[in-house]
Amino acid sequence: MQSTQINEQIRDREIRVIGDNGEQLGIMSSRDALKLAEEQDLDLVKISPNANPPVCKIMNFGKFKFEQAKKDREAKKNQKVTVIKEIRLSATIDTHDVEVKAKNATKFLQAGDKVKVTIRFKGRQMSHKEIGNTVMDSFFKLIEEVGVIEKPARVDGRSMVMIVAPKS
């Protein structure tokens, strides 16, 4: 089904009509409004179908479609896409390695991306989850001036996950 009804597709008994240059022409039958639009070589376009009575405007439909497409493109261009970058740590990671990974995470956060920090537990490390919490805390202390914790560290299966978002 077409999203916008035009000309003969408008089946309502009474409609509120707006002229080509924005003036109110009042409430009339859809047949009379269509005749009015045809006299001006323009289209009758339903712009507010949920109003009571529905609102229709006399306009050039091709121009209207072009303006709508232009607005949609502009809105899409201004949309911000959030990217999640992943940093993987281990429970037995060395302090210098944590610093290197924190430097990378800082770059990601400054670029506006979110960072997912993951620690994968191997073997018997599962019984020492507090080591994972310590590593996560020390990692976050290195990046806390550029990021905030969006989801705190929690265990999910054999891994611990924390999501850090950039500070606004």
Domain that holds residue 115: 84-166
- Domain membership of residue 1 (yes or no) is no
Residue that terminates a domain, selected from 53, 74, 95: 74
Output phi, psi for 156, to 5 deg. Answer: -135, 95
Q: How many domains does the chain have?
A: 2
> Tokens 């950039």 label which residue?
166
The reply to whether 114 falls in a domain is yes
Domain end, chosen from 24, 39, 74, is at 74
Instruction: Report, as an integer, the average pLDDT of 49-56.
Output: 87
Q: Please list, in sequence order, all residues whose beta carbon lies within 8 angstroms of the beta carbon of residue 49, skipping any fewer than 6 positions away.
A: 5
68 lies in a domain? yes
3-class secondary structure, 168:
coil
Q: What is the CATH number of the domain that holds 24?
A: 3.10.20.80
- 60 and 96, same structural domain? no
Separation CA 161–CA 158 (nearest Å): 10
What does the pLDDT average to over 38-66? 88
Are residues 158 and 90 part of one domain? yes
pLDDT band of residue 163 (cuts 50, 70, 90) is: very high
In this structure, are 68 and 95 located in the same domain? no
Res. 2: pLDDT tops 80 = no
**Is residue 128 assigned to a domain?**
yes
- The residue out of 50, 74, 98 marking a domain boundary is 74
Q: For the domain that residue 125 is a member of, what is the CATH number?
A: 3.30.110.10
pLDDT confidence tier of residue 48, bands split at 50, 70 and 90: confident
Number of H helices, E strands in the chain: 4, 8
Instruction: Using a pLDDT cut of 70, give the percent of the chain over it.
Output: 99
